[in-house]
């Protein structure tokens, strides 16, 4: 079996990390969209709710992401900054926040 060069292995790993995939949240089990966004200086691992939101109704306590889906490229998540938001026509998602867990009992 022929081993791939290290630069090809790194490129394939990066491409796989940036690919949008649907996966349950490991903490609460809710359906989420996950991907690494390469838009900024440092890559950010994103976990977002899969339900699109109205751009005018983005909660102030959440980050917004654009689900960019081209015909010839795989879907990816893009940071929705103020410059991109002005002309954005993409599906808008918000960062996932787990719902609060119910209190089982109070110990005194």
Tell me the pLDDT tens digit for each residue of 29-71.
999 999 988 766 677 889 999 999 999 899 989 999 999 887 7
pTM: 0.75
Question: The domain containing residue 89 runs over which residues?
Answer: 9-94
Please count the structural domains in the chain.
1
Residues 49/96, Cβ–Cβ less than 8 Å: yes
Q: Is 87 inside any structural domain?
A: yes
Tell me the pLDDT tens digit for each residue of 67-98.
988 777 788 888 888 888 888 889 999 999 99
CA distance 68 to 2: 36
For Cα atoms 66, 71, 74, give the angle at the middle one, nearest 5 degrees: 60
Q: Is 72 inside any structural domain?
A: yes
Q: Smallest Cα–Cα separation from 44: which of 74, 71, 81, 69? A: 81
Mean pLDDT for 1-7 is 77
């Amino acid at each position: 079996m022929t081993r791939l060069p290290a630069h090809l292995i790194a490129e394939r790993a990066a491409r796989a990390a940036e690919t949008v995939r649907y996966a349950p949240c490991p903490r609460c089990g809710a359906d989420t969209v996950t991907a690494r966004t390469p838009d900024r200086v440092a890559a950010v691992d994103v976990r977002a709710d899969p339900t699109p939101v109205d751009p005018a109704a983005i909660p102030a306590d959440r980050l917004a992401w654009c689900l960019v889906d081209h015909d010839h490229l795989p879907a990816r998540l893009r940071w929705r900054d103020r410059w991109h938001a002005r002309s954005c026509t993409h599906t808008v998602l918000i960062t996932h926040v787990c719902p609060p867990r119910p209190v089982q009992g109070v110990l005194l």
